Chain A
Amino acid sequence: MNNEREHEATNRPFYESIEINKHSSYQLFIGELASDTLNELYETCIHYDKKQLCIAATSPDIDSDLTFFLSTAPVNTTVYIQGSEAFIWKLWQRVKVLGLVDEQIKMFQPENKQRDLFCVHCFTTTHEVTQTPALCDDCQRLLVVTEHFSKHHAAYMGYQVNAENPTEIPDPKEFT
């Protein structure tokens, strides 16, 4: 546990540039918010009846939408996900459970620097964190936002920043 951990040792995901799988028989586009990039990509897909666009912000229940769309999907489906990092990985988890493998899930570089923060003390996730340290929504501990990322939690690990010495509180640093 370190108060000034360097940012080099990390398992942060790396986002490759998006390429359409041209021969995929079903293309599913999922966005957190409506966006021009996603719309354009959707339009460039040639097979009109074998694609679908889904926007979480305007859907009453994105989860059941996805389950519905993917329940009859073919083996060579491709899914494209756009949004904040936490949104992207929550959706990743969801579509993996439905049967997709990593190579079938294409993720855009996250829209913003916001992170979800997993408090390792009380197991609560705090959303839309923009700087380190940050307060845990539930137990109120001040947490260091580490670079240790979990795809399954769609969040970074946080631990109490001043557990060794309560008076040692680092200056806040925004994520770059």
Chain B
Amino acid sequence: MRIAPKPVQSFRDDFTYTNSAEAIKRFPFPFVDDEYRYTVNIEAHKPNGEDGSVYEYFLDVDEHYLSEVAERAKVLEEAEGRCLTMPHMDLACWDLVERIMLSLTEDYPEYFSLTMDGDNWTWENKLLKSKDSFIFGDSTSLPMPPLEYIGRQVQGDYAVLDQRNGDLFMDAGIVTCPADWSIAFDAGMSFSEWHGPVPIAHNEGIFDRALKYLTMLQVGSPVRRLNWTLTINARMDTSPEAYSEWGHERTSVTPENVAQKVYLRVEVQIIDRLPRSNALSINIRAYLISLEDLVTNPAWAQRMHRAMKTLPPQLIEYKGLSRFHSMIVDYLSQYDSVK
């Protein structure tokens, strides 16, 4: 079941973020096997509009909406280079504006409304108490670039990829809650280039297959996949840019506080073909749950123990878990019938 957006909680400083019982229940737990392996793991994103899960609608507006919007606004105010659009991506960004506005209006009519009179559009966001009129396709009619305008009103980062020569290029994006990657640095990179730092997967041809699949994706057939990592505290902005601020938190984990401090971060990535520009948009939506909350589901606790126990060393290192990985395995072992 979906809970309406609740008042703003924080993803930094005092970390007032909490998950309701319902949020825990619908959390997108990513581990399907007892042993974690890299796969392409792409599946069709076919929202059914009825099951209350995070996949119920094309985009998931949940109890954390106001908190995430506030956090994004803070990051954009304090940090440079988090929202970027190369000039040739203007059309793709307008494609994205349309896609987001139409789907939010259809799926959450109580929160959003859109009226279209030819190219004269009026968009109302009742959650943020805003109402704006603009000319669709005319970037001068918006108070800020279209990607930033709509990005400030959705949960999750966006990467907008230009498709050329059978490859995908990171030519636009708004990135305020990344799992350790920088759009300022990665701007303009091709698919395999921005995946450069990921260990293991290259040799297994995973990225080649994924690229072939994604370049053939058609309008109206979005797909999704999951990524996961572990974060210390309920921190959204774990960007390389801010590493000087959050890096030290990794040394603050002890066997006594591991359940409260360590959060499982699951990224639901929704990949969608944009009609006018033929670009691909990726919504990268981060869901956070503390280990303490996670273990209230015994099946998850056991599987999490096994997945963490069998994690290859390169992945532990790549995901930055070295300092606390064994503490996690120890803590979770109490929930596993097999130690």
Q: Does A42 contact B (CB under 8 A)?
A: no
Of the listed residues B196, B318, B322, B323, the one surrounded by the most CB atoms of chain A closer than 10 A to its CB is: B196
| Segment 221-270 of B: residues with Cβ below 8 Å from A | 240-241, 243-244, 246-248, 250-251
Q: Does B51 contact A (CB under 8 A)?
A: no
B248 in contact with A165 (CB, 8 Å): yes
A6 in contact with B241 (CB, 8 Å): no
Q: Does A94 contact B (CB under 8 A)?
A: no
B240 in contact with A1 (CB, 8 Å): yes
Residues on B with C-beta less than 8 A from A148 are: 185, 196-197
CB < 8 Å: which of A4, A8, A149, A151 contacts B188?
A151
Residues on A with C-beta less than 8 A from B188 are: 150-152
| Segment 152-168 of A: residues with Cβ below 8 Å from B | 152-153, 157, 159-160, 163-165
CB < 8 Å: which of A4, A120, A152 contacts B240?
A120
Of the listed residues B185, B189, B195, B196, the one surrounded by the most CB atoms of chain A closer than 10 A to its CB is: B185
Check A163/B323 contact, CB under 8 A, given A1-B180, A6-B317, A10-B196. Answer: no
Q: Does A17 contact B (CB under 8 A)?
A: no
Smallest Cβ-Cβ distance to A166: which chain B residue = B248
Q: Does A2 contact B (CB under 8 A)?
A: yes
A163 in contact with B184 (CB, 8 Å): no
A1 in contact with B185 (CB, 8 Å): no
Write the nearest CB–CB distance from A144 to chain B, whole angstroms. 10
Smallest Cβ-Cβ distance to B238: which chain A residue = A1
Write the nearest CB–CB distance from B187 to chain A, whole angstroms. 6
| Segment 1-52 of A: residues with Cβ below 8 Å from B | 1-2, 4-6, 8-12
Q: Does A106 contact B (CB under 8 A)?
A: no
A149 to B192, CA, bound (A): 12
Residues on B with C-beta less than 8 A from A141 are: 244
Check A9/B198 contact, CB under 8 A, given A120-B185, A152-B187. Answer: yes
A151 to B198, CA, bound (A): 18
B186 in contact with A9 (CB, 8 Å): no
Residues on B with C-beta less than 8 A from A151 are: 188-189, 193
B186 in contact with A165 (CB, 8 Å): no
Which 8 pairs of residues, A with B, have the shortest CB-CB distance? A11-B196, A163-B247, A152-B188, A9-B199, A120-B240, A164-B247, A11-B193, A163-B243
